[in-house]
Amino acid sequence: MATYEVRNEMYAITTDTSKLDVNVIHQYLSEESYWAQGMPRDVVEKSIDNSLCFGLYYNDAQVGFARLITDCATFAYLADVFILHEHRGKGLSKWLMEAIQAHPELQNLRRWLLTTKDAHGLYEQAGWTKVPDDYIYRFMMRHNPDVYKKPGNE
């Protein structure tokens, strides 16, 4: 897949994985996020290798990230979206969502999903809606919240 890039003044969003700062991504996910506490670096690297990733940069320094698990044909699951604290309040998360949803390879997807504890307002601004009650019963999951606490995953 060709690299996708958009620019906005001093910021850039790109799918070029060679620019990703895995240290920044790992630190945020494993130490600051509520959803990936304690995630080992090798798991972060593997998730990047197997996803369509969007890095957000300020003067070439990584300040945001989002990861899309997708077949680029029918379905996408949005995960690991973050903007570093010092760059929040500038509309960057909204711009990141616009850029992701405008990616040319993702225009004919039938379904996009994500889960969030506290960012419903952001996603609603980008056209997302809560799963209707009559659809909730269709969704199932397997969840292992302590997977990163198991011996050998330190």
| Ordered domains of the chain (ranges, CATH) | 5-149 (3.40.630.30)
Q: Per-residue confidence at 151, pLDDT binned at 50, 70, 90? A: low
User: Structure pTM?
Assistant: 0.92
- Residues 102 and 96: their CA atoms lie apart, in Å, by 10
pLDDT at res. 154? 52
Instruction: Give residue-wise pLDDT tens across range 5-39.
Output: 999 889 999 999 999 999 999 999 999 999 999 99
53 DSSP β-pair partners: 67
Give residue 150's pLDDT band: very low, low, confident or very high (50, 70, 90): low
Q: Report which residue type is found at 104.
A: P
Helices (H), the chain: 22-27, 41-49, 92-102, 120-125, 133-136
Return the percent helix, strand and coil in the chain, to nearest 5. Answer: 35, 25, 40
Express as a percent the part of the chain with pLDDT over 90.
Answer: 84
pLDDT at 152: 61
What was the pLDDT predicted at 12? Answer: 98
9: left (phi over 0), alpha (psi -120 to 50) or beta: left
